[in-house]
């Protein structure tokens, strides 16, 4: 079952990268890129496109598969290395030399 979720997560991440790369910019011109004033940054947003909806769905699926794998991996962990270590021996307090 874990293998299936890992394969699903790899496919989702590849699709997510491709969908994000396909999307166009926010119509920002060169002046806005170098600190100039642009109305595109504060103007109204356009309608949500299908590619944006696909991006949100893929992102939600990626988060769900990541959380599933994180939860499953937490239950099968081996004990800590520190719990296997022998207890530390403390040296007895040295007494002061008497003259």
- Burial (CB < 10 A; 0-12, 13-18, 19+), residue 92, is exposed
Kindly state the percentage of the chain with pLDDT values over 70: 59
At residue 88, the pLDDT reads 74
* Domain residue limits, the chain: 1-23+49-73
The pLDDT tens digits of the residues spanning 22-68 come to: 887 665 555 555 665 555 555 566 677 888 899 999 999 999 999 99
Q: How far is CA 86 from the centre of its chain?
A: 36
Q: Six-digit token pair at 32?
A: 């806005």
pLDDT at position 89 over 60 = yes
Residue 77's pLDDT band (boundaries 50, 70, 90)? Answer: low
């Amino acid at each position: 079952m874990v293998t299936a979720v890992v394969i699903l997560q790899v496919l989702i991440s590849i699709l997510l990268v491709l969908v994000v790369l396909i999307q166009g910019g926010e119509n920002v011109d060169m002046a806005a890129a170098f600190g100039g004033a642009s109305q595109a940054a504060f103007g109204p947003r356009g309608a949500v496109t299908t590619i944006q909806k696909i991006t949100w769905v893929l992102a939600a699926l990626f988060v769900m598969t990541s959380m599933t794998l994180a939860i499953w991996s937490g239950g099968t962990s081996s004990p800590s290395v520190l719990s296997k270590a022998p207890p530390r021996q403390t040296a007895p307090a040295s007494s002061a030399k008497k003259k």
